[in-house]
Amino acid sequence: MMDLTNPWMLPDEVFAWLETNLNPDSTVLELGSGQGTQRLCAMYRHVYSVEHDAAYLYTAQADYIYAPLDGIEDARWYNPRSLEDKLPKDYSFLLIDGPPGPTRANVAAWFHLFRDDVPILYDDTDREADRMAAEAIASALNRPIEHIAAPSRGEGKMFSVIPLSPHIQ
C-alpha cells in the first residue's frame, strides 16, 4: 500500500534493501535529511546527514552538516565550502537523497568531495536527470549499477545502487 503521509521519505524498499545489504555497525553519510534519517539512526551505528534546510536539522540522533544551497536555478547544489572541511573521513555507505528536485543530479559535478570506495544508494532515479547522474557516477567509478523498483511510492518509482563489486552485497 502506498504511504502518502510523507511522500518525500525514502521508500520502504530502500530500508528493506539496506537491512539486507548493510551491516548494522555501518556509518552512513546521507545527503538530504528528514523522517528517513530517524529510521536510519535506529538501524545503524552512526549517521551523518547533510542538510540545506534548517527546519530539518537536529530532528534525529544524527551528526548534522548544515550546507545551504548555492548557485542559481537548476545549477544549485550544497555550498561546497560548507562541506569540504565538515564531511566525515570515515563512513561505509553513501546515501544520496538530497538536495530536493532537479538540483540533486548536480552531485555528479561535486562527487570528488566524497569517498569513491563505498557502496552508494541514489534515490529517485525514476527521474531521468537523477538516473543519468547515478549512471555517470557508476561509470566514472567503473562500477555496476542496479536500478530497483520502489512501488511503495507509486508506479514507476525507483532507486539505484552502485555496489563496490558486480555482486550486490
Spatial neighbors of 108 by CB under 8 A, at least 6 apart, are 133, 136, 137, 140
What are the structural domain ranges in the chain? 12-162
Architecture of domain 12-162: 3-Layer(aba) Sandwich (3.40)
pLDDT tens column, 61-98: 999 999 999 998 888 999 999 999 999 999 999 999 99
- DSSP state letters, 91-150: -SEEEE--S-GGGGGGGGGGGGGS-SSS-EEE--TTSHHHHHHHHHHHHHTT---EEEE-
Please determine, for residue 1, whether its predicted confidence score (pLDDT) is greater than 60. no
State the DSSP H helix or E strand holding residue 160, giving kind and residue range, or none if neither: strand 158-162
Q: Is the pLDDT of residue 135 over 90?
A: yes
- The pair phi, psi for residue 54, each rounded to 5°, is -60, -25
Residue 110 reports pLDDT greater than 70: yes
pTM for the full predicted model:
0.92
